[in-house]
Amino acid sequence: MNVSIRDYEDYLYDHYKKHGIDSSLFMKLVEEVGEVAEVLNKRDGRKASNNEDLKAQLANELVDVIHYAFAIASLNQIDLNDVILEKDKQASVKYNHEMNLEQFLHSRG
């Protein structure tokens, strides 16, 4: 099953609309970013690791980052799909990329 950006935003809005507070969600986002950093430090040998599945841990922490970032966007009625496409267009021009995300998606059919 694939999840669209819109589906995830709608789901999170429904979940947080009654009790979602941007500042508390932001604090959770920062906490999760720190956990991503911890896993990367273990993976790169800057921190001790005890035969942990670092790939699975990294995946889980990244999903947590996405969750809270999307929740904040959803509560603020930000359409991430549109913002992602527009921001990528700007970056493609700025960094002289051969194609932007929208062109890439069209090229895949």
Axis-axis angle for helices 80-94, 54-75 (nearest 10)? 110
Q: What CATH number has the domain bearing residue 56?
A: 1.10.287.1080
How far out from the chain centre does Cα 12 lie?
A: 13
Alpha-carbon distance of 5 to 81, in angstroms, equals 6
> By three-state DSSP, how is residue 18 classified?
coil
pLDDT at 106 over 90: yes
Burial of 11 (0-12, 13-18, 19+ CB in 10 A): middle
pLDDT at 29 over 90: yes
Contacts of 99 (CB under 8 A, 6+ apart): 92, 107
Q: What is the pLDDT averaged over residues 2-17?
A: 96
Give residue 22's pLDDT. Answer: 85
What confidence tens digit (pLDDT) does each residue in 39-71 have? Answer: 999 999 999 998 899 999 999 999 999 999 999
Residue 21's pLDDT band (cuts 50, 70, 90): confident
In terms of domains, do 9 and 52 share one? yes
In terms of domains, do 25 and 66 share one? yes
